Amino acid sequence: MAGEDSALLEQLRRGDATAFETLVQENIGPMLAAARRILRNEDDAREAVQDAFLSAFRGIERFSGDARLSTWLHRIAINAALMKLRAKKSIQEKPIDDLLPRFDDSGQELVANEPWSESAEELAAQAEARAMVRMLIDELPDTYRVALLLRDIEELSTEEVAKQLDVTPNAVKIRIHRARQALRALLDARLREAVPRRAAPVPPKDQARST
């Protein structure tokens, strides 16, 4: 742990009010952003972050110091957001099956994704497309959306995601694999809407006559 973190931790354990204020000011932004991504509701996200800080303040003595304070708080915020998500009234989720690849008895994919055109690939590299990806992630069922967020956006390891979701690492891998397949299908459809398929070139008149 960095020296600045060590000094702040000592102040926190002494109950220094200024240290707690510093901790909040330096970390509330990233914590709130993570909670928003998971909960997709501003009020719920703010409540989750408040719960996270309360848990951190109560558990500061148990913090081992083997990671940065910001990393520790980020994990607590994610956990608080997940707890609030589980506590919300269950909503019937839209099935993901229609977005996953389908195969025949021989293992051949029934409908293969066509390669994106060069212009579509350029679009995918733009900031607008990154925002589109975030929006499309929100269309996934929570079971897959949250796993993908924790692994690809929050950059938790597979084992950490499994611990947060209380499932096995293999279940996490399956969820993320399916989520990425579904996201690819959604993104493919949106990019093709934004960049229409190029029409086939029309042969010159003299060439057409010769054939």
Report how far residue 101's alpha carbon sits from residue 208's, in angstroms, rounded to the nearest whole number.
40
pLDDT cut 70: percent of the chain above it: 69
**Range(s) of the chain covered by CATH 1.10.1740.10:** 3-87
DSSP string for residues in 56-86:
HHHTGGG--SSS-HHHHHHHHHHHHHHHHHH
Contact in structure between 175 and 147 (CB atoms under 8 Å): yes
* pLDDT, tens digit (0-9, with 9 covering 90-100), for 89-141: 655 556 666 666 565 555 555 555 555 454 545 545 565 667 777 888 888 88
pLDDT at residue number 52: 96
Chain centroid offset of residue 130 CA:
12
**Range(s) of the chain covered by CATH 1.10.10.10:** 97-194
pLDDT at residue number 68: 87
pTM above 0.95, yes or no: no
Report how far residue 165's alpha carbon sits from residue 148's, in angstroms, rounded to the nearest whole number.
12
CATH 1.10.10.10 for domain 97-194, yes or no, is yes
How many other β-carbons are positioned within 10 Å of the β-carbon of residue 184? 15
CATH code that applies to domain 3-87: 1.10.1740.10
